[in-house]
Every structure is written in C-alpha cells, then in structure tokens.
Structure 1
Amino acid sequence: MTTANSNIIYGESPISIEQINDLAKGRAQAQLNTDPSFKQSIDQGAEFLKNLLQEDGVIYGVTTGYGDSVTEQVPLESVHELPLHLTRFHGCGLGDTFSVEQSRAILGARLTSLSQGFSGVTWELLQQLETLLKHDIMPRIPQEGSVGASGDLTPLSYVAAVLIGEREVIYQGQVRPTAEVFSELGIEPIKLQPKEGLAIMNGTAVMTALACLAYQRAEYLIELCSRITALCSIALQGNSAHFDEILFSAKPHPGQNQVATWIRDDLNHHQHPRNSSRLQDRYSIRCAPHIIGALKDSMPWMRQIIETELNSANDNPIIDGAGQHVLHGGHFYGGHIAMVMDTLKTGIANLADLMDRQMALLMDRKFNNGLPNNLSAATADRKPINHGFKAVQIGISAWTAEALKHTMPASVFSRSTECHNQDKVSMGTIAARDCLRILQLTEQVAAASLMASCQAVQIRINQQELNSESLSDTIQNTLSEVFAEFSLVDEDRPLEAELRQFVSHIQNQRWTTYSFGG
C-alpha cells in the first residue's frame, strides 16, 4: 500500500490495484522512473518505428487504415495525419461523464500499460500523461461507446484528444476547453507520432481502471456485510454455534472460513456461546459465511487477472523495439476483465440479496424474536403512529431488485461491428460499469442495513434483554461509531440525509471493519 502523498513510480515495478486506487483518490502522485535504462526501453520502440517507416515498412494503423480499413494504404506523406483522424472520428461518446476519481484511474492504467515498452510511443507522450496527473487535469470522458475490443477506443479518444490540446478537461471542478487550461498553465500540446493515437486508444485502460476501483470497494463490502450479519445474529438472538470453528473445519474454503471467524469473534462465541430458542437459524444468518465466503474466495484470482491486465501491453500492434519486430495480434481484447467484472457483480449482488433477507427478518415481528415491528423504537402511546424502518425496508428491496437486474452477464452480449472486423467483442467496459452500478446499490443496502441492525441491537439493550458489556469490543466499537452520527429512530423522520451520509462513509471506508481501520 502507498502512503498519503507518496509517489507511484511508473517503469520501476508492477503497479497494484491499491496504487491505482491511491492515485484515483489523490493519495498518491504518478512519477515516471528516471532511470536512463527505462527511458531507453521506451525510446527504442519509437525509434524502431521511425526507421521502419523510412524503409517503407507496412504497419497496421501506421501505414494502413484502421480495422476493416486495413486494406487501405496510407501514403507516407499522410501517416502523421492518421492518428489525428483516429482521435477525432472516435469523439462520439455519450452518457454520463466519468468522475474525476475514475478518470485519474483511467490515466493511471493507461500509463501503466504504455510503460511496459511494447507500444512504440515516445517518452514525450508518457511525460504528457504524467503532467495531466501531476496537475490533476482530467479529460472529460463520456462513459458509453466501448464494446471492449478493439479496447476502449471511443472513451480513450478523449484522453488522446486532451494530450494534443483538444476537447475538454475537468480542472478544479470545472469543465473547460483543454487549450484554455493548457495555455493558463504553460503546457504544450504534443503532436502524436504515427503509432501513438492507436497506442493510447487501442487498449483496455478504461475497463481495467474501473475494475481496480470496483475490486477495492468489494473488499470493503465483504467485511462490512460480515459485521452486519453479526449484528443481525445478536439482534435476532441467533445461535452463535452456526459459526463454530470445528464446524467450519469440515468445509475448509479459506475465504468462507475467514468470514465465519470474523462473525464468530464478533459474537464472542469462543468465550460464551449465545443461547438461542432456535436450534437452526434461517439461511440468511446461518449460511452467511457461505454466501459472503463464495465472493471472498474468488477475490485472489480476480486480483491476479486485474493486475496482470493492468501491467500488460494491451494494444495492437505490439512493438518489440529491442528485437525489432512488429507483432500484429489482439491484446486489446478485454475478455479477462469482462469475465472478472461479470463474476464480481454477481458476487456483490448476492451480498445485497443477503442483507435484504436479513432486514426482512429484523423488521417482521413474526420472525424477529420479540423485536418491535419495523424496528420502531417508539414507546407507550407513541407506538401506533410510528413506523420505524418500514419505508427503508421497501427501499432496500428496491435497491436489491435493481442490483439483481444488472447481473445479466455483459460478456455474452457480443455484437459484430465495424464491417465484421470486430465480429466478437468482450463488452468488458459495459460489464465494469454494471459492476459499479451494482456496488452503488449494494452500498445503499449496506448503509440502511447497518443503521437498522444497530438500532435492533440497541433496542435489545434498552429493553434489558441484552447486556452491552457482554458484547465484543468490535461490536461495541461499531455501535459507538454508528450512534455518533445516527440517533435511534423513536419518532418518524426523513432518513434520506443520514442514508446518503452512511453511503458516503462506506465508499470512503469510514466504518471500522476487520482489515479496514476506518
């Protein structure tokens, strides 16, 4: 992990998911490796291409048209115009604009790939990307328009355009013309060399950047969902033996058993097993480690795929400057990221579904073992007119349903496009955007569930059915954190502002969990 305001050195060692997140959140700064050997490894590819052009070599996207237009030969006197045309005709993105945080991650991911030294770009291009990150000048990038092969062409065209001083940027919270901001800061636009438009655009940087952001949010939700499960078990007076160490030794999935350990420790089961009137709790409590654990156990291979893609040359053609080869292939294909994002979004939606079921148990007096209906903390004659979390549970159900709807795998919806040259495409960027939407919805479910489960435990304490001193330190800490910013709902009030605040805290990993210190 990088520390606050530290430098991430490109061209020194592989870049991690955590480093991309630190860059995105402004906790770290991008810096090119100043070792002369690194600069040489970049320059040799560009120099090889320059010499090859002088020898009338045929290079896709340099002396030919793009995609299905590969059969069109470009006269040597026009090759310097070709990348400019590529950036311009791809300027057709629509939809919402990526946030500044997401755009930083995109630039960081593209810089990582180009720093591998197999893209035939100049040192000046890498420096221009470094400059954008240094001054926090972010391209305004529309989210829609990529099929994920040949990479993220249309969204990355907005990066290429900014490098040469065109289109718009987000600078100091405002959308402004790039040329205007460059002039103000004394930044010179670069002139794209023959392969450089393709090198910037013909890769998987957008989907990979979003995957890095999604991965870390998912890590946190796994832990938060485990903590919410423990709170629900306490509130429902559940059977803590469901998380017993001997029980889980019989099915040794490591991620599943880590979740069970977290919950077991939260419940103090190893000190004094909690008595329960039920021999077996319902599945949303008893099987929570299996549900959360399925995602937890999938995270290592997802990390391996995301970080391999991040630290790869993923454009076409590949330029081997040292061996002097031009290698035409399909490394722009985002199938690996598509597979990860389709998998991750399903795992995250399962967390939403789990919490939705847990909340249904907590709210309903037929199933909540003596808690008030809808968890209303109203007393005496105030009970009939107060409704507690009734509407919040409806919201939880709505957010969960929408999350589940988005789990349809994007990767199977390949469309033949571009005159059947791109006849099988990855849809990786759509999968990544779906995943971020599901994360947002699940974070909303988690925010409401954290409020409700803490309210339920506090009601037990207030009714003297639970001694707060018997609770584990971790559970007491969570109750303290939550009630520092949330008051018990004993009289009906709008909860929107508090829910939004809790969602923000979750996205900023404010609440203390098992690995995240808050």
Structure 2
Amino acid sequence: MVILTGNTLTLAEIKKVLFEKEKVEPTEESMLAVKESYNAVKRIVEEERVIYGINTGFGKFSDVLINQKDVKDLQLNLIRSHACGVGEPFPESVSRAMLLLRANALLKGFSGARPIIIERLLELVNREIHPVIPQQGSLGASGDLAPLSHLALVLVGEGEVFYKGKRRPSIEVLMEEGLTPLTLEAKEGLALINGTQAMTAMGVVAYLEAEKLAYQSELIAAVTMEGLNGIIDAFNEKIHLARGYQQQVDTAKRIRAYLSGSQLITKQGEIRVQDAYSIRCIPQVHGASWQALDYVKEKLEIEMNAATDNPLVFDEGESVISGGNFHGQPIALAMDFMKIAVAELANISERRIERLVNPQLNDLPPFLSPEPGLQSGAMILQYCAAALVSENKTLAHPASVDSIPSSANQEDHVSMGTIAARHAYQIIQNANNVLSIELICALQAAEFKGVEKMADKTKAFYLEARKIVPSITKDRIFSKDTEACSTWLKKLDINSFML
C-alpha cells in the first residue's frame, strides 16, 4: 500500500502504483487539511467574496462575476468546454499517473476541493479505471487544461475510460462499479484541471523508461566492446576521478564490472593504441546523460508533490492568492533536457553499430553477414538506426523555447511542457530500438569472436538475449528481431547482471 500525504510521493512509489498495481490511500491528516480547505471555499461562496475561479469566470473572463446560484454550473461548464484535446490517447500508465498525481496535489489542502474528489480519484486508481485522455491540446500553462478536463469528465460520468482492456463510456463503468457520478461544487472543476499533472505524468513514465534504458545501454556497450576487442584502459578509474564527474566515474565502474574476466577486451597497444570515441568515451557521454537524468528525477519528485492550481487557499480561507504555479516551465525544461540526454545515448549507440558492421572499421565479416554478398546480414539494420537517431534530432528541438499567447493575451507566455514530455517519450522509444539493433549486432560480433571468451556477466546476458534473438545464420526479416528485442529490454530486470 502506498500512502499519500501530498508531500512525500517518490518515483519508487509511483512505479509500484503504475506497474505493480499497488493500492493507494491518503493519510487522515491530509484529508483533514482537504476538508478545512473546502470549508474555507464554502464560506467564501456564502459570504459572496469575489475570488477568481470560485465566483468569477476564467482566463480573460476573470473580471466577470458569477451569481451564487450558478457556481456549480460554472464548474461543469469549465470541464466540458476545456475537454477539447485531440490525437491518440495517452498510454494507460500515463492516465493512471495523472489520477494519482492530481489526488496527491489536492491532498496538500490548498485547493478547496471536497474529500470526495480525492476519494473518487483514488477509487479510479485502485479499481484500474483509467480516463481516455487525448495527448494533444495542452500549452502547459494555466496547467494542462485540456488533458485534465478529459480526466475530470470521468468524475461527473462523462467522457470515456479504459477498463479491463476495453474503451467504454465512463457512465457505464461507474454504474457497474457502484460509483455515483459527482456534482462539482465551487472551485472543484478548476482545482482538477489547473495543474501540471499531464506533463508530469508523461514525464514520470518517460523517466522510468529512460533510467532503465540508460543502464541497459552500458551493458549492451560492454558486449559491443567484446565484439570489437575494445581497450579497457580508457575505463581506468584514475582517468575518471581526474575529471571529477561522479556519473562518469560510476559509468566506467559499471563497464569494468561487466567486462571483468573477459578474454576479448584488450590493453592499449596490443591491437591498437586507442579506440574510436564511441567506445573510448562511453563514460564521458553516458555519464553526461546520467547527469541530465539525475536533474530530471529531482524536478519530477518536486513537481509530483507540488500545489500547481490557482488560486491557492491559505490560512483557513483568510488568504486566497492568485499566482502562477500552474506554469509548467520547470518540467518543460527538464523534459527538453531528457530529450537531449536520451537522444545522445542513441547517437553514440548508432556509431557503435557502424563500427560493428563496417568491414573497414573492424576485423569481422562485412556487415556481420554469414555469406557476404549473397547475404546482406546487418547492413540495413544500421540504416534503420541512422533513421531513428535522425528523427530524434528533430524531436530533440526544445519545446520550452516556444510560446504562443492565449486567452486574448491574458495568458501570454506558456511552457509547452506537455509537448516536451510527449516528444521525450517518443525519443525514448526510438532509442530503445537503436539499442536493440546494437545488441543484435553485438551478439553476432561476440559470437564470431568466441562466446566462451566473454566475461561472466556479459556471457550470461548473451545467453539470455539469444533466447530472444537467434544467431544470424542467413538473412531474415530483421524487423521482427528488433521488435522482439525492444519488448524484451523493456521488461528486463538488469539488476541480475549488475550484481
């Protein structure tokens, strides 16, 4: 059971909820804070104090006063009008994360929503009822308005959900589960949609995949080194301590551990004095990507526990302050940084692929072909990797440097953070395929050089990988191998090879 307080959710805990279906519940203390915040909003409505989003319009309509009898209609109208997203739905894991993160934000007690709102969000998580949320349509400031509106629709019995593998009308599933649609009260619609939970949820899912991919890239690179008789001296700890980046030191250490006892790696001067940069500079390049990923992790764990709606209710309603915590710039920059970091893991991987298949750069059969000329072998696998890294270069263009004014120029600078998070996820999928191609080629190269000479850890990895990708004995449809390898890597627990 993962316990939510609004302040302490970690990536490790969210991983359990998203992928291990761990149940979630709030603390009594946090729910008490929620109730006090709701009571404060209730008093504001009764006293007819003019507060943005409670009894005014939204955005450019912030100066329009709403009659007390229309406050509930205001919230429902907000949700319906803002549910204008387009495109393919977010993966269910992202939708699930959005539910969890929105509940956690409301639990901070600054939003004025009733406890029943949090309870219903967590019911959806625990019963695996996931809103259908289109991916496109958020500017990432004033929050992720369109995506979160599609989430909020489910609470009122509208929109659609994914449930038990099917896409269905929300009202049908709620009725089956004995959940009565809610009627939103003052500020609750705004509290549900005025936040960064779409970009943060997409960012969390992307980061968890990127972290796994980054570890796997090192192990795959180690197999490549064996296939190319790579020089281990470049991984000597003294070199990396001399520069001082801990992530670089750690990457070199893991590579040394993977290759411990290998008879395929060499010392400088035995075959050549130095390797190409794509081999020799693995700690420097991968280590720099780890620095970026560490930055992303830090920002995500802050944002996962942040109050990001507007206005925020303080001091039992005595202070209701309008601000801009919904602005997604911190996550937008982090997502753009992650895009670059992962794209670089793919870039250097593609260069190692070239060294594995190009007969001018190695002593292996041309293109790792079993019959060069008659059989093309891995020739076009490198083409595919090159296409993927080229696509990544366009996706890596920073979304956060763009801004388009909205709401009649009231909202005149936006983050585009959700675009950045979506593109980061696409880059990660492409990078996973590039690394799969490197692994296919590295396995074949190591086989030519002698599996019995591999290090214990890389040999164990080789034997497991060969269950997924057979040896290349003749040309075949290699897209099937790449897809199988990519799927396997996503599920692989690399810890067993890191011990």
TM-score > 0.5 by shorter chain: yes
1:236-385 residue pairs with structure 2 within 5 A?
A: 236-268=228-260, 274-275=266-267, 276-322=270-316, 324-368=318-362, 370-376=363-369, 378=370, 382-385=371-374
Percent same amino acid among aligned pairs? 33
Q: Which moved more, 1:287-296 or 1:228-237?
A: 228-237
Choose which of 474, 484, 487 in structure 2 pairs with 1:491.
474
1:389 aligned partner: 378
Choose which of 61, 65, 72 in structure 1 pairs with 2:64.
72
* Matched residue type, 2:366: N
Choose which of 71, 81, 84 in structure 1 pairs with 2:76.
84
- Give TM-score, length-normalised by structure 1: 0.93
Choose which of 409, 419, 430 in structure 2 pairs with 1:441.
430
1:152 aligned partner: 144
* Cα offset, 1:469, TM superposition: 4.5
* Cα offset, 1:206, TM superposition: 0.6
CA distance in 1, matches of 2:392, 2:492: 21
1:465 aligned partner: none
Q: Given the superposition, is the C-alpha separation of residues 12 and 210 from structure 1 closer, same or farther in structure 2, using an over 3 Å criterion?
A: closer
- The alignment status of 1:480 with 2:463, answered yes or no, reads yes
- The alignment status of 1:408 with 2:401, answered yes or no, reads no
Choose which of 471, 483, 488 in structure 2 pairs with 1:505.
488
CA distance in 2, matches of 1:38, 1:238: 56
SS at match of 1:80: helix
* Matched residue type, 1:489: I
Q: Which moved more, 1:140-149 or 1:94-103?
A: 94-103
| 8 A Cα contact 1:137 1:171, kept in partner | yes
Q: Given the superposition, is the C-alpha separation of residues 512 and 493 from structure 1 closer, same or farther in structure 2, using an over 3 Å criterion?
A: farther
Superimposed CA distance per residue, residues 416-452 of structure 1 (whole angstroms, 9 cap, x where no aligned partner): 1110011000111000001000000000101111111
- The alignment status of 1:135 with 2:144, answered yes or no, reads no
Q: Given the superposition, is the C-alpha separation of residues 388 and 321 from structure 1 closer, same or farther in structure 2, using an over 3 Å criterion?
A: same
* Cα offset, 1:131, TM superposition: 1.1
* Cα offset, 1:495, TM superposition: 2.0
* Cα offset, 1:116, TM superposition: 1.1
| 8 A Cα contact 1:241 1:273, kept in partner | no
* Matched residue type, 1:504: T
Superimposed CA distance per residue, residues 453-510 of structure 1 (whole angstroms, 9 cap, x where no aligned partner): 111111111xxxxxx4543221111111111222111100112222212111222234
* Cα offset, 1:25, TM superposition: 1.6
Q: Which moved more, 1:268-277 or 1:340-349?
A: 268-277
Superimposed CA distance per residue, residues 286-317 of structure 1 (whole angstroms, 9 cap, x where no aligned partner): 11111100011233332221111110110000
| 8 A Cα contact 1:255 1:297, kept in partner | yes
Structure 1 unaligned blocks of 5 or more: 1-6, 462-467
Cα RMSD after superposing both structures: 1.8
1:119-198 residue pairs with structure 2 within 5 A?
A: 119-198=111-190
SS at match of 1:81: helix
| 8 A Cα contact 2:113 2:188, kept in partner | yes
SS at match of 2:23: strand
1:37-76 residue pairs with structure 2 within 5 A?
A: 37-76=29-68
Superimposed CA distance per residue, residues 308-363 of structure 1 (whole angstroms, 9 cap, x where no aligned partner): 11101100000125463201100001011001000011000001100000001110
Q: Given the superposition, is the C-alpha separation of residues 197 and 116 from structure 1 closer, same or farther in structure 2, using an over 3 Å criterion?
A: same
Q: Given the superposition, is the C-alpha separation of residues 449 and 270 from structure 1 closer, same or farther in structure 2, using an over 3 Å criterion?
A: closer
CA distance in 2, matches of 1:11, 1:123: 13
Superimposed CA distance per residue, residues 379-433 of structure 1 (whole angstroms, 9 cap, x where no aligned partner): xxx4431111112111111111111110100001111111001100011100000
* Matched residue type, 2:26: L
SS at match of 1:503: helix
CA distance in 2, matches of 1:513, 1:426: 40
| 8 A Cα contact 1:255 1:293, kept in partner | yes
1:427 aligned partner: 416
| 8 A Cα contact 1:42 1:123, kept in partner | yes
Q: Which moved more, 1:98-107 or 1:428-437?
A: 98-107
Superimposed CA distance per residue, residues 47-101 of structure 1 (whole angstroms, 9 cap, x where no aligned partner): 0110111111111111110011101111111111101000011121101111211
* Matched residue type, 1:365: P
CA distance in 1, matches of 2:474, 2:390: 28
CA distance in 2, matches of 1:385, 1:273: 31
- Give TM-score, length-normalised by structure 2: 0.96
| 8 A Cα contact 1:207 1:429, kept in partner | yes
| 8 A Cα contact 1:241 1:269, kept in partner | no
* Cα offset, 1:119, TM superposition: 0.7
* Cα offset, 1:514, TM superposition: 5.7
| 8 A Cα contact 1:505 1:511, kept in partner | no
SS at match of 1:410: coil
| 8 A Cα contact 1:120 1:321, kept in partner | no
* Matched residue type, 1:374: F
Q: Which moved more, 1:40-49 or 1:182-191?
A: 182-191
1:27-38 residue pairs with structure 2 within 5 A?
A: 27-33=21-27, 35=28, 37-38=29-30
- Number of positions where the alignment pairs a residue of Structure 1 with one of Structure 2: 497
| 8 A Cα contact 2:314 2:320, kept in partner | yes
CA distance in 2, matches of 1:181, 1:375: 53
* Matched residue type, 2:226: I
* Cα offset, 1:272, TM superposition: 10
CA distance in 2, matches of 1:179, 1:272: 62
SS at match of 2:175: helix
CA distance in 2, matches of 1:326, 1:13: 21
CA distance in 2, matches of 1:339, 1:514: 33
* Cα offset, 1:269, TM superposition: 7.3
CA distance in 2, matches of 1:458, 1:208: 43
CA distance in 1, matches of 2:265, 2:301: 42
CA distance in 1, matches of 2:494, 2:265: 26
CA distance in 1, matches of 2:115, 2:228: 62
Structure 2 unaligned blocks of 5 or more: none
- The alignment status of 1:206 with 2:198, answered yes or no, reads yes
Q: Given the superposition, is the C-alpha separation of residues 263 and 188 from structure 1 closer, same or farther in structure 2, using an over 3 Å criterion?
A: same
